[in-house]
Amino acid sequence: MTVGNRAALAAVAAGAAALAVATVVAVVSRPAGSVGTEQAAALASPTAASTGPVVAVAPGALPDDAEPVRPVRLRIPAIEVTARVDPVGVDERTQEFDVPPSVDEIGWYRYGPGLAAESGSVVIAGHVDSAEQGKGAFYRLRELAPGDTVTATGDDGTERTYRVVAREEYDKTKIPLERYFARDGRPRLTLITCGGPFDAEARRYRDNIVVTASPV
Amino acid sequence: MQFAYLRRAAAGGAVAALTFVGAGIATATPAYAADSKVSVVHGIPDTPVDVYVNGEKTLENFEPGDVAGPLDLPEGQYDLALTRPGEPIGEAILTADDAEVPGGANISIAAHLDADGEPTITPFVNDTARVDAGKARLIVRHTAAAPAVDVRAGGSPVFEGLTNPNEAKGDVDAGSVSADVVLAGTDTVVIGPADLNLSEGTATIVYAIGSAEAENLAVVAQTIDGLHSAPSGVPSGTGGQADTGLGTWWYALAGAGILLLVAGGARAAVVRSGRR
């Protein structure tokens, strides 16, 4: 066997090894994908309003300021998360969800339902990570699976436990936000963060990870 | 006997015709003419009434300051009549014939005083377009026997020169504001101040009712919810540590692998053929 032949075979072996490693990495790093999509959609379908033949008559009083029960703390044992929850709204300029700047804190959408609401989606979003602060409270949100529990403590001091029914991954341009910010449908808790491939130049993730949980 | 039979047959025919028309509407509905939501607002002081729609008593002893509905009504023309409670429709104190209800709209019919203090009925079409996330819609309607007014929020005018029977509206930041009503261009407060809690994603409709002369100006309010919009997005990561895409190093590795395979294979083939 010549030296040239040996080198050629070594090159072939090295090439095969490199391709094998690349394949393994590609398979392992594939996103976990979505589970429970149908269950999540079912929770969001509007509940039939009971309309009797009688015309409802009510005093035309000015609306009162009924404050919803806001979540102040969220605990997710499966991914070892305990985080403070701040009430947040939308960014004035972009109309985007105003996720708290500190990655250790997560934000509750204060315009939507509170924990005591009898219908609709309680939305809490948090950072997966940030360039300056590193990993965020929701770094491991994508690891949640149906059956995992989430406990939210309200400002009324009551703990409410939810069970995960779905984890979905959506391209940010295709996510049905109307459904996750709905105020009708069954009462549910919706957790949102970023995920999927990262665009290093735009410093943004392509996808949103959405976890839907039902009250236990 | 024969006559009775004929009548029954005619009635049967009518039912059949109605069913047929009903089926036609049911199949044609998606394209147009969805039912309208109709609310009734009572803004005439000291005058409880019964409300008749197309000759049928729909509301009994409807009190001033109350809001009824919303009722789902198909598109069409309706005859409205208001009587003193218990009195026959023939002695109605206020009627509106052929009131037009368009399809798929949200309407408020207000019984109120005109600028001169005479009872009247005014239909308003409610703006139920979605509001931006974080916003609430405020609609103010002048339905009182009073001159032009300004509406102020937090002391500064938001709607100016509003006259009976008109409305002014705007989308504002959701939250609570202290509002009052002054005679247009003056600081003479005629209503309020009152705290207005404008919930996000709702329209709050405030009617000024009553009479300035009788010193019974007041407000009636109606709220329409479900007008909210979702935020435009949820940006929640700038670090890239959770990147699940394949980095440039992966493409370099895969590329190098292919190059080595091809080059090595070619070289081996050349060496082998050279030996032959």
In whole angstroms, give the CA distance from residue A19 to residue A118: 54
Structural domains in chain A, CATH included, are 33-44+68-215 (2.40.260.10)
Three-class SS state of A26: helix
In this prediction, what percent of chain A has a pLDDT beyond 70?
Answer: 91
Whether B140 has a pLDDT exceeding 70, the answer reads yes
Confidence of residue B231 (pLDDT cuts 50, 70, 90): very high
| Cα distances (Å, whole numbers) of residue B67 to A214, B111, B140, B190 | 36, 11, 15, 23
Whole-angstrom distance, CA of residue B186 vs CA of residue B202: 30
Give yes or no for residue B234 having a pLDDT over 50: yes
The answer to whether position B171 is within a domain reads yes
Phi then psi for residue A7, to 5 deg, are: -65, -40
B136 with B224, same domain?
yes
Do residues B44 and B121 share a domain? yes
Residue with the bigger pLDDT between A14 and B30: it is A14
**Residue A15 contacts by C-beta under 8 Å, 6 or more apart in sequence?**
B256, B257, B258, B259, B260, B261, B262, B263, B264
Cα–chain-centroid distance for residue B19?
A: 31
Mean pLDDT of chain B: 86
CB interface of A with B, residues 85-114, below 8 Å: 89-90, 92, 94-97, 99, 109, 111
Q: How confident is the model at residue B260 (pLDDT cuts 50, 70, 90)?
A: confident
Residue A190's pLDDT band (cuts 50, 70, 90): very high
Among the listed residues A63, A76, A148, A72, the one whose alpha carbon sits nearest the alpha carbon of residue A115: A72
Question: What average pLDDT does range A56-70 have in this prediction?
Answer: 89
Task: With a cut of 50, say whether residue B20 has pLDDT above it.
Answer: no
Q: Do B140 and B54 belong together in one domain?
A: no
What average pLDDT does this structure show over A3-13? 79
Instruction: Report yes or no on B11 lying in a domain.
Output: no
Contact state of B246 with A7 under an 8 Å Cβ cutoff: no
Average pLDDT over residues B165-190: 95
Task: State the pLDDT at residue A48.
Answer: 61
Closest-CA distance, A159 to chain B, in angstroms, reads 26
B139, B204: one domain: yes
CB of A200 less than 8 A from some CB of B:
yes
Span B90-117, mean pLDDT?
93
| Region A186-206 average pLDDT | 95
Domain identity same for B141 and B213: yes
Q: Contact at 8 Å (CB) between B264 and A12? A: yes
Q: Are residues B147 and B67 in the same domain?
A: no
Give the closest of B59, B65, B271 to A2, CB-based. Answer: B271
Overall average pLDDT of the A182-193 stretch: 97
Q: Are residues B116 and B155 in the same domain?
A: no
Whichever domain contains B38, its CATH number is 2.60.40
According to the model, what pLDDT value does residue A31 have? 54
pLDDT value at B171 more than 90: yes
Answer yes or no: is pLDDT of B9 > 70.
no
Angle made by CA atoms A45, A49, A55, in degrees to the nearest 5 = 160
Give me the mean pLDDT over the B248-256 stretch.
76
Q: Which of B238, B198, B200, B223 is nearest to A181 (CA)?
A: B200
Same structural domain, B219 and B142: yes
pLDDT at B18 over 70: no
pLDDT at B12 over 80: no
Kind plus residue range of the DSSP H or E element containing B32: none
Spatial separation of the C-alpha atoms in residues A154 and A72, rounded to whole Å: 6
Among A12-16, A76-80, A103-107, A158-162, the range scoring the smallest mean pLDDT is A12-16
pLDDT at residue A109 greater than cutoff 60: yes
Residue B102 lies in domain: 30-125
Report, as an integer, the average pLDDT of B5-18.
35
Strands B36-43 and B106-113: parallel
Angle at A183 between CA A179 and CA A188, to 5 degrees: 75
pLDDT at A160 (0 to 100): 97
Q: Note whether B256 contacts A135, CB cutoff 8 Å.
A: no
Q: How confident is the model at residue B261 (pLDDT cuts 50, 70, 90)?
A: confident
B176 contact residues in A (CB cutoff 8 A): 65
Q: Is residue B244 part of a domain?
A: no
Within this chain, do residues B111 and B163 fall inside the same structural domain, yes or no?
Answer: no
Question: Virtual CA dihedral for B73, B79, B82, B87, nearest 10 degrees?
Answer: -110
pLDDT score at A50: 52
Question: Does a structural domain hold residue B217?
Answer: yes
Mean pLDDT of A65-79: 94
Alpha-carbon span B229 to B42, nearest angstrom: 31
Q: Average per-residue pLDDT in chain A?
A: 90
Categorize the per-residue pLDDT at A117 as very low, low, confident or very high, splitting at 50, 70 and 90.
Answer: very high
At B86, list the tokens: 């218990």
Q: Quick one: pLDDT at residue B253?
A: 79
A 122-141 residues with CB < 8 A to B: 125-136, 138-139
Select from A29, A211, A32 the least CA-distant residue to A126: A211
Q: Please count the structural domains in chain B.
A: 2
Question: What is the per-residue pLDDT for B14?
Answer: 35
Query: Residue A205 has which token pair?
Result: 């993730």
* Residue B147 maps to a domain: yes
Q: Are residues B116 and B208 in the same domain?
A: no
User: Poorest-confidence range of A3-7, B181-185, B211-215?
Assistant: A3-7
Give the N- to C-terminal CA distance of chain A in Å, as an integer.
71
In chain A, what percentage of residues exceed pLDDT 90? 71
* A55 → closest Cβ in B41, B71, B202: B71
Q: Which residues of A touch B241 (CB under 8 A)?
A: 128-129, 134-135, 139
Complex-level ipTM beyond the 0.95 threshold: no
End of a domain among B91, B125, B159?
Answer: B125
What per-residue confidence (pLDDT) applies to B206? 97
Tell whether B81 is covered by a domain.
yes
- Asked which of B61, B90, B125 is the last residue of a domain, the reply is B125
Domain co-membership, B114 together with B195: no
Find the mean pLDDT for residues B75-99: 93
Q: Which of B222, B236, B264 is nearest residue A11 as measured by Cβ atoms?
A: B264
Q: Per the domain annotation, does B144 fall within a domain?
A: yes
On whether the CB atoms of residues A79 and A143 are closer than 8 A, the answer is yes
pLDDT above 60 (res A72): yes
B155 and B103 belong to one structural domain: no
Confidence band (pLDDT; 50, 70, 90) for B132?
very high
CB nearest to A90's CB, from B65, B66, B133: B133
Inside any domain, residue B210: yes
Query: What pLDDT score does B274 carry?
Result: 66
> Which residues in chain B are closer than 8 Å to A181, comparing Cβ atoms?
228, 230-231
Q: Which tokens in the block code for residue A109?
A: 């959408």
- Res B24 pLDDT > 50: no
What is the model's pLDDT at position B266?
A: 82
Q: Tell me which of B125, B140, B160 is where a domain ends.
A: B125
DSSP state letter for A71? E
Minimum-distance CB partner of B234 among A14, A139, A208: A208
Amino acid at A191: L
Q: φ, ψ for residue B259 (rounded to 5)?
A: -60, -50
